[in-house]
Amino acid sequence: MFDIPLQVLLGQITIGLVNGCFYAVLSLGLALIFGLLNVINFAHGALYMLGAFGVYLAFQKLGVNYWWSLLLVPVVVGAFGALIERFLLRRLVGLDHLYGLLFTFGLALVLEGIFRDIYGSAGLPYPTPASLRGLMDLGFMRLPIYRVWIVGISLLVCIAVWFLIERTRLGSYLRAGTENAKIVQALGINVPLMVTFVYALGAGLAAFAGVLAAPIYQVQPLMGSNILIVTFAVVVIGGLGSTAGAIVTGLALGVIEGLSKVLYPEVSSTIVFIVMAIVLLLRPAGLFGREA
């Protein structure tokens, strides 16, 4: 009798960990974009949705398999992001940050609206790739392999991005640009190109999360806006200050959300916001944040 709740508990923790991976990848992209562009990318959820639709459509229309999609869809969405930045967002440089937010808000409405117009609001199923089906036996519990895959690959990508930002030459330029773009530019580094790259990288990360999500969640136009608002709360809790902070906070909140589904299901949809409220009262700058 005690075993069953333990099974359920562990099951929900892994589901929470999977969600946490999505939060981590999304909030990482948000933090990167915010760092260099000073824009809260409201279209992040829509880009995530584009990723999921990308893998779905590539399979349905072109017969492209999951693995190629996992590689190509983020690149395509990233290129789309680069175009958006280069030709539209760039016009807002130097204005109040809020205009960037409002612009991307409009962009999100357009993207989601177009997909809803074509595909409706119902979820579309995407098959789990054959090699990732089935369960993995850990002795004390059995896990769907696809969930393990999501957690593993997301963590890998998060660490790779962290390494890129914190340990490479390019990353040092990016961090310098976040501190003071004008001086970096004066030192002969092409900051506008770097900005485009970062927006593309953030968009690609969002799309990557979308591709991963397609087999376990239904592919549907509004999937992005729901997860985006939670991601915002994650970002507020973690603070936009650090790359590692975004990753850790995302994972932790996913697990907390998973636990709440077992312990007190009534609050499971609001728990992240409750945590946010508590953090705001105790540490207004967020757990890893610098005062903004």
Residues making contact with another protein (CB under 8 A): 34, 40, 88, 91-92, 95-99, 101-103, 105-114, 116-117, 225, 229-230, 232-233, 235-236, 266, 269-270, 272-274, 276-277, 280-281, 284, 292
Q: How far is the CB of 245 from another protein (least distance, A)?
A: 15
Q: With beta carbons less than 8 A apart as the criterion, state whether 43 and 226 touch.
A: no
Q: How far is the CB of 253 from another protein (least distance, A)?
A: 12
In the complex with another protein, the residue whose CB is nearer, 1 or 281, is: 281
- 201 vs 171: CA distance, rounded Å: 12
Beta-carbon neighbour count of residue 148 at 10 Å? 17
Beta-carbon neighbour count of residue 259 at 10 Å? 16
- 166 vs 239: CA distance, rounded Å: 17
Q: With beta carbons less than 8 A apart as the criterion, state whether 209 and 44 touch.
A: no
In the complex with another protein, the residue whose CB is nearer, 151 or 203, is: 203
Q: How far is the CB of 39 from another protein (least distance, A)?
A: 9
Structure tokens at 127: 């098959």
In the complex with another protein, the residue whose CB is nearer, 231 or 243, is: 231
Q: How far is the CB of 103 from another protein (least distance, A)?
A: 4
In the complex with another protein, the residue whose CB is nearer, 34 or 59, is: 34
Beta-bridge partners for 136: 143
Q: How far is the CB of 277 from another protein (least distance, A)?
A: 6
- 177 vs 22: CA distance, rounded Å: 27
Q: With beta carbons less than 8 A apart as the criterion, state whether 31 and 158 touch.
A: no
In the complex with another protein, the residue whose CB is nearer, 85 or 112, is: 112
Q: How far is the CB of 257 from another protein (least distance, A)?
A: 12
Residues in the chain: 292
In the complex with another protein, the residue whose CB is nearer, 58 or 206, is: 206
Q: With beta carbons less than 8 A apart as the criterion, state whether 241 and 35 touch.
A: no
